[in-house]
Homo-oligomer: A and B are copies of this chain.
Amino acid sequence: MEMNTLENVQESGVYDVAIVGAGPAGLSAALTLKIHNKKILWFGTSALSDKVEKSEKIANYAGCELISGKELNEIFRQQIHSAGLVLTDKKVTMISGDKDGYMILGDNDIYKAKTVLLAVGSVPAKGIDGEQELLGRGVSYCATCDGFLYRGKNIAVFCGHKRFEHEVEYLAQLAEKVYLYVSYPESEINLPNVEMLKKPMKAVRGENKVRAIELTDKTEKEVDGVFFLRPSVAPATLLNGLHMQGSHIEVNRQCETNFAGCFAAGDCTGRPYQIAKAVGEGNVAAHQIIAYLAAKDK
């Protein structure tokens, strides 16, 4: 995965904050930061949180009586619209930076922000064996970024959500052969050069570059590249050096991570995985970001 030229950075300017994730934590932070007139870059899809969407009944969120997740997401969307907030539907696959500012790679574009709020939901800590080690050496999280590298080659693809199926189709147009594993029941992909894997991948094999994938039944498939299409990239992969506690981002009561200017809120900081807790932390993080920016601008 290569960072693009700096052209795009010049165009969009520097944001006060980049929020990664459009679940309850990201929304809560965005609402507060908007009131305080911060220049916000908010990554996420208008589908918002998939976990909220699938909640049949929510009975313990103060202010919203016995509501379905679908209804709550609809209220959230309306609130986003009314507040004049805008979602940037790009997948963030890399962040780098420090107290002087952050660079964020969203699909093929680079953005700059003074602070970052990670509100990426609960994400497996580090993927499967070999995934992190071979990232950028055959392992990719972004079809539109890296697909062209595999023209006429064999690849494996993990598809973690129906909404990534167009990316699978895009890859199938480029690659000679695609081994596909989907982690949800009703896949609609049916293409001649796509072979559905019955078993999930267990490991990525290869020394300095990807050579094969190993499935849970111990069979191997020779491939040149592997794409993991998941809603979120593991936080410590996203931002190298981020301190974790197991699969959660380590934060203090102010939602500060070990990177100055980088904050985290919601499920990614730990249990309970609850809307109320995410909304609370999004609010705390936003206030801390406001204070951080004020101190920086002094």
Return the chain B residue nearest A284 by Cβ. Answer: B277
> What range describes how many residues of A lie at the interface?
35 or more
Q: Is residue A31 within 8 Å, beta carbon to beta carbon, of the partner chain?
A: yes
- The interface bits of chain A over 47-73 (1 if a CB of B lies within 8 angstroms of the residue's CB, else 0) are 000000000000111111110000010
User: What is the minimal beta-carbon distance from A14 to any residue of chain B, in angstroms?
Assistant: 24
Q: Which residues of B contact A31 (CB under 8 A)?
A: 59-62
Collect the chain B residues with CB atoms within 8 Å of residue A28's CB: 60-62, 276
Identify the closest chain B residue to A274 (Cβ).
B283
Interface pair B75/A65, CB less than 8 Å apart:
yes
A18 within 8 A of B: no
Cβ distance A65 to chain B, nearest Cβ, rounded Å? 5
Residue in chain B with minimal CB distance to A266: B280
Q: Are A64 and B65 in contact (CB under 8 A)?
A: no
CA–CA, A61 and B82, complex, Å: 13
Give complex CA distance A82, B61 in Å: 13
Distance A279 CA – B63 CA, assembled complex (angstroms) = 10
- Tell me the A143-200 residues at the B interface (CB within 8 Å): none
With beta carbons under 8 angstroms apart, the residue of B34, B59, B276 that contacts A35 is: B59
Complex-state Cα separation, A35 to B58, whole angstroms: 11
* B63 A76 Cβ-Cβ under 8 A: yes
A276-B282 in contact (CB<8A): yes
Closest to A31 in B: B60
For residue A283, which residues in chain B have a CB less than 8 angstroms away from its CB?
Answer: 60, 272, 274, 276-277, 280
Distance in Å: Cβ of A224 to nearest Cβ of chain B: 44
CB-nearest residue of chain B relative to A32? B60
Instruction: List the 6 shortest-distance A-B pairs measured between CB atoms, nearest first.
Output: A280-B280, A276-B283, A31-B60, A272-B287, A32-B60, A63-B64
Interfacial residues, chain A to chain B (CB-CB below 8 A): 24, 27-28, 31-32, 34-35, 59-66, 72, 75-76, 78-79, 82-83, 251-253, 270-272, 274, 276-284, 287
Given A28-B61, A276-B283, A277-B283, list of 7 further CB < 8 A pairs?
Answer: A24-B62, A59-B83, A62-B76, A62-B282, A65-B79, A251-B253, A271-B287
